[in-house]
């Protein structure tokens, strides 16, 4: 086959892919179940997740914590004293960042609207540390030392403030200078602090109580009972908690909560997709169930061949990170956007290969 014919085929495939991507609405390409026209065929809109992982991200030195930046298409994971950064679909790390000898990472998050990643944990002297890095270049940016290990981090939606949970306190930090803006004492060691309601409130995961940062007072609670498990989605807007009776989901800032009766016995980790219609539930470390919340129906079961500690859905709802212990993260596709994205990546590589063989004549001429 001549190079010209290959190039024409490439142009045709690229046009078809672009047309498909442009004509899928968000509901279709994320695989969400449509709430419209319930009597119609709905298999295309059922929750979809790939049967097998499409990527395996490995060589981490221990138990990993993970986050994803849709803006830069970067996946970052921290384990012990190392941060690794990937740009999927490549499985080779783009950056390997040394946090420092003796550091143990407990939490990692991308800062909104930036390529900065922040990691919190424990230093070799058993005090706490917070470290900022540019995930693209790997360069260090800022360092904050704390008297206690930092167990969890949650960046403010506006990107300037950082919520840091330590062993006995929850602190609001100004990321411009590292200064403390507010501090709350924890009543329960297992509590974690999360921003809620556009960042006006601090939500404590053990009691679901809300602290109003403007009024500096408790303003109520999201629920009367204590949750067994709690999860804030990486999108920053999806909150969910598991009780013995079922799952409660809040999907938007200050939105009404929805309760779904569900048998939660044996669930040790979970996450809910951004639209709040279905979720991934880990049972006994070796089985993941994809469950439609409104009906309680198990759409798919994924059997695992090694133990898993956590499940996290990416901020844009296109991938599920299944965190194996130790040192490996399996990435599963959700919906269809990753399929289209990977096709386009392969087509671009094909175009670059054809262009290098044909020379300048292969370059599309400007209109």
- The sign one gets for the Cα dihedral 285, 306, 236, 99 is positive
Task: Work out the number of other CB atoms within 10 angstroms of the CB of residue 89.
Answer: 15
Q: Are 152 and 120 in contact (CB under 8 A)?
A: yes
pLDDT at 254: 65
| Contact (Cβ atoms closer than 8 angstroms) between residue 8 and residue 15 | no
CA separation for the pair 201, 41 (Å, rounded): 42
Is residue 86 classed exposed, middle or buried when 0-12, 13-18 and 19+ CB atoms within 10 A define those classes?
Answer: buried
What pLDDT score does 27 carry?
27
User: CA torsion angle for 32, 38, 43, 45 (degrees, to 10)?
Assistant: -20
The angle, 0 to 180 degrees and rounded to 10, between the axes of the packed helices 3-23 and 337-358 is 160
pLDDT number for residue 207: 94
User: What is the pLDDT, as a whole number, of residue 255?
Assistant: 74
Range 39-48, long-range pairs (CB < 8 A, 24+ positions): 46/292, 46/299, 47/273, 47/277, 47/278, 47/290, 47/292, 47/299, 47/300, 48/334, 48/335, 48/336
User: pTM of this prediction?
Assistant: 0.80
Which mean pLDDT values do the consecutive 10-residue runs of the chain (367 residues) have? 52 47 30 32 58 92 93 94 93 94 95 94 96 96 96 94 97 95 92 94 95 93 93 94 96 83 95 93 91 94 91 93 91 79 60 55 45
Structurally, at CATH architecture level, domain 31-57+226-335 sits in 7 Propeller (2.130)
Here the tokens at position 336 are 């269809």
Helix/strand/coil percent split, the chain, to 5:
15, 40, 45
Q: Residue ranges of the domains in the chain?
A: 1-24+336-367, 31-57+226-335
What does the alpha-carbon distance between residue 153 and residue 183 come to, in Å, rounded to a whole number?
A: 14
Distance CA 297, CA 95 (A): 40
In this predicted model, what pLDDT tens digit does every residue of 314-352 receive, in sequence order? 999 999 999 998 889 999 999 876 666 666 555 655 655
**Burial (CB count within 10 angstroms: exposed 0-12, middle 13-18, buried 19+), residue 12:** exposed
Structure confidence at residue 352 (pLDDT):
58
């Amino acid at each position: 086959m001549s190079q010209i014919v290959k190039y024409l085929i490439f142009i045709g495939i690229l046009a078809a892919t672009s047309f498909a991507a442009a004509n899928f609405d968000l509901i279709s390409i994320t695989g969400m179940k449509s709430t419209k026209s319930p009597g119609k065929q709905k298999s295309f809109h059922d929750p979809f997740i790939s049967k097998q992982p499409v990527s395996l991200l490995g060589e981490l030195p221990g138990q990993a914590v993970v986050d994803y930046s849709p803006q830069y298409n970067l996946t970052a994971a921290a384990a012990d004293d190392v941060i690794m950064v990937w740009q999927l679909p490549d499985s080779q790390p783009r950056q390997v960042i040394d946090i420092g000898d003796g550091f143990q990472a407990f939490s990692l998050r991308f800062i909104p609207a930036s390529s900065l990643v922040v990691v919190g944990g424990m230093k070799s002297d058993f005090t706490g540390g917070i470290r900022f890095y540019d995930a693209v270049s790997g360069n260090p940016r800022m360092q904050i030392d704390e008297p206690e290990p930092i167990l969890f981090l949650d960046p403010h939606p506006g990107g300037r403030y950082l919520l840091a949970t330590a062993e006995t306190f929850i602190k609001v930090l100004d990321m411009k200078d590292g200064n403390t803006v507010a501090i709350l004492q924890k009543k329960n060691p297992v509590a974690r602090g999360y921003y809620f309601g556009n960042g006006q409130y601090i939500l404590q995961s053990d009691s679901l109580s809300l602290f109003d940062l403007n009024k500096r007072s408790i303003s109520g609670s999201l629920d009367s009972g204590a949750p067994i498990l709690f999860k804030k989605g990486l999108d920053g807007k999806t909150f969910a908690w598991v009780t013995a009776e079922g799952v409660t989901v809040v999907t938007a800032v200050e939105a009404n909560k929805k309760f779904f009766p569900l048998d939660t016995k044996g669930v040790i980790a979970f996450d809910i997709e951004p639209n709040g219609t279905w979720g991934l539930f880990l049972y006994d470390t070796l089985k993941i169930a994809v469950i439609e919340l409104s009906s309680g129906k198990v759409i798919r079961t994924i059997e695992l061949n090694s133990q898993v500690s956590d499940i996290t859905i990416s901020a844009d709802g296109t991938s599920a990170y299944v965190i194996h212990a130790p040192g490996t993260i399996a990435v599963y596709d959700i919906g269809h956007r990753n399929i289209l994205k990977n096709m386009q990546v392969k087509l671009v590589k094909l175009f670059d290969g054809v262009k290098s063989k044909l020379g300048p004549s292969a370059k599309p001429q400007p209109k």
